[in-house]
Amino acid sequence: MTRIGHFISNTITTGSSIRSQPVFNPATGKAEKEVVLASKEDVNEAVAAAKVAWPAWAKTPPLRRARILDRFKMILWDRMDELAEVISSEHGKTHDDAVGEVTRGLEVVEFATAAPTLLKGEFSRNVGSGVDSYGIRQPLGVVAGITPFNFPAMVPLWMVPVALACGNTFVLKPSERDPSASLLLGEWLAEAGLPEGVFNVVQGDKDAVDALLHHPDIQAVSFVGSTPIAQYIHQTASANGKRVQALGGAKNHMVVMPDADLDMAANALMGAAFGSAGERCMAISVAVPVTDTVADALIERLVPKIEVLKIGPAADRSSNMGPLVTQAHLEKVRGYIDSAEQQGAKIIVDGRSFQQPMQGYEDGFFIGGTLIDNVTEDMTAYREEIFGPVLSIVRKPRYQDAVDLIHGHHYANGTAIFTRDGDTARAFASEIDVGMVGVNVPIPVPMAFHSFGGWKASMFGDHAMHGMEGVRFYTRLKTVTSRWPSGLRTNPEFSMPTLG
């Protein structure tokens, strides 16, 4: 059985820990690999390597850092299929979806190659007699990333390129459910010319997380995952004096207005609700048709599309949707459907009974696409993040009722509205209390040069990810005010200094 280790100082190592756990192929339901789980000593070794590498990397001109990232970008581009196959084998998503994940991550690398421009400071000449002021952005030091199972390449790539471009060194703790992608990223960064210790990977569970959160040499922590863990990360790291960005859960609504193109809306919902088996923090899990007429017409279009979803392994390139990541998560998603039914919702399309017909994949963690109507705000399936291929219909009679519904939820990651009316769309985008908004776009994930982050219980911390918010997170501002001897005053001053 393949044994997956850590990546420290550009070398793969299994470390000192004797603990490990299996890594499953979700499509077959079988454990095909084993990942070692880092001890505190393993984490300390990775952080020490990053600390040793930091002074030289911080002094490396941004242009040279950018050139290494540019070479890494081309390696990613050339080997995209290889990385996608590794992702699919451990996460379960289809090959096309995995390629899409890598592509979105690559866009952040492209953004980070602009490091010389991104790190340009501000300069003001002659703010006082012979006095100049300028601001510079400097790296923090050793930073850490803790990333989720659903995007084992893309989410690390939201963090790592920007952190490195800014002059930090990095320790990544990926999900233990699909750890192999992180090692490929490390090997390819080294191949691109990244010095030893600048990027490191420690595999592990909560023990490794806690070791990073309490380590005195970690200056900042980035996290993406569920809200309870995001809160824990934010509170614990903050209490230990670290800068934190912690992105949590979501319950993303899509409002469908009476004037919307319903065929367009139905197609958008199919990809947004069932792509990646719904295991996306930006998945649309709640459709909010305004009026029963719209709801009935939307359901009429959705049902035949859901019923013909091609559900299968990534090995079948015609699959629209793969399995869920684990057996435990499969049972959890089934439980949410059960609870909705028990609480009075109507199951229009039921994915619980799906059986994978392909030989060799009968034991995979598959579930069918599910559509639930007459969902209400008090139901468990509405209040909680399901993280599976389950689309709820919450009917509302008026636009304002739909807005109030969204505002009443504790998550505020993303939302969308489908309408032909520019006035309605503009009002929605301006007034809705959600971090990311789509207008006739179902999954409003911003491009890399903009920033990603939700509001309310979907994000903890002051800075969103990638884009200029990412640059601000991974740097600290220093302002210098200077005057040279020819402008010095000879007499001491005891009052508040003025420069004019």
**Are the C-beta atoms of 289 and 298 separated by less than 8 Å?**
yes
Q: Which of 213, 281, 448, 459 is catalytic?
A: 281
How many CA atoms lie within 13 Å of 271's alpha carbon, on the beta-carbon side?
12
| Catalytic-residue membership of 281 | yes
**Are the C-beta atoms of 478 and 138 separated by less than 8 Å?**
yes
Three-point CA angle 181, 186, 187, nearest 5°: 100
Give me the DSSP letters along 67-109.
Answer: HHHHHHHHHHHHTHHHHHHHHHHHH---HHHHHHHHHHHHHHH
**Are the C-beta atoms of 290 and 417 separated by less than 8 Å?**
no
Give me the DSSP letters along 410-443.
Answer: SEESEEEEE-S-HHHHHHHHHH---SEEEES-SS
Task: Identify any residues that bridge with 128 across adjacent strands, giving them in sequence order.
Answer: 131
C-alpha to C-alpha distance for 412 and 433, rounded to whole angstroms: 7
C-alpha to C-alpha distance for 245 and 234, rounded to whole angstroms: 7
* C-alpha distances out from residue 479 to 8, 53, 117, 378, 413, Å: 35, 26, 18, 51, 34
Longest alpha-carbon distance in the chain: 90
Report residue 470 as tokens: 């990412």
SS3 assignment, position 189: helix
Give me the DSSP letters along 24-66.
Answer: EETTTTEEEEEEE---HHHHHHHHHHHHHHHHHHHHS-HHHHH
Give me the DSSP letters along 255-292.
Answer: EE-TTS-HHHHHHHHHHHHHGGGG--TT-EEEEEEBSH
What residues contact 239, with CB distance under 8 A and at least 6 apart? Answer: none
Q: Which helix (H) or strand (E) holds 131?
A: strand 131-139
C-alpha to C-alpha distance for 390 and 217, rounded to whole angstroms: 42
Q: Nearest-CA neighbor of 417 among 241, 290, 246?
A: 290
**Are the C-beta atoms of 390 and 337 separated by less than 8 Å?**
yes
SS3 assignment, position 7: strand
What residues contact 481, with CB distance under 8 A and at least 6 apart? Answer: 127, 131, 132, 133, 499
Question: Would you name the residues annotated as active-site residues?
Answer: 281
